């Protein structure tokens, strides 16, 4: 199981993140890599990027267009991503690659919408945990 990091210091990925991330149930992401469309799944997102699990082999530095809709079923995001780190996962059903990607050309208004959604989601979780 290898891992590759681009531009992230060794102090740990969580510490290197600049934005709050919110876990998603599972979000389908459509990407295009060397003119081939692939489907991946993400488990968390922030205004700066997300974690993507895919059987498409990707490596640090790769850039590709992606498209996804936030769980609010309103906000559609279309932009270019860059892989900043990778990790291979092996299982009985096959190999997959988990990658950390950053948004390359996402406009500030979409970043704000994503950030607002993340903050609302995190606040709901905190309120549920305090009331339950």
Residues contacting 69, CB < 8 A, separation 6+:
27, 75, 76, 77
8 A C-beta contact, residue 19 and residue 46: yes
Q: What is the pLDDT of residues 33-47, one digit of tens each?
A: 777 787 888 878 899
Nearest to 106 by CA among 45, 41, 57: 45
Provide the pLDDT for residue 40.
81
Q: What is the pLDDT of residues 48-87, one digit of tens each?
A: 999 888 877 888 999 988 888 888 878 888 999 999 999 8
Q: Whole-model pTM?
A: 0.70
Q: Architecture of domain 20-131 in CATH?
A: Beta Barrel (2.40)
Domain boundaries defined on the chain: 20-131
């Amino acid at each position: 199981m290898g891992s590759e990091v681009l531009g992230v210091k060794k102090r740990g990925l969580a510490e290197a993140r600049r934005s709050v991330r919110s876990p998603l149930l599972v979000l389908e992401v459509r990407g295009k890599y060397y003119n081939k469309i692939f489907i991946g799944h993400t488990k968390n997102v922030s205004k700066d990027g997300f974690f993507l699990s895919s059987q498409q082999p990707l490596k640090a530095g790769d850039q590709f267009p992606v498209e996804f809709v936030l769980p609010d079923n309103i906000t559609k995001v279309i932009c270019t991503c860059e892989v900043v780190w990778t990790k291979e996962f092996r299982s009985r059903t096959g190999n997959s690659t988990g990658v950390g990607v950053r948004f390359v050309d996402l406009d500030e208004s979409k970043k704000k919408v994503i950030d607002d959604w993340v903050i609302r989601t995190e606040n709901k979780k905190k309120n549920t945990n305090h009331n339950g």
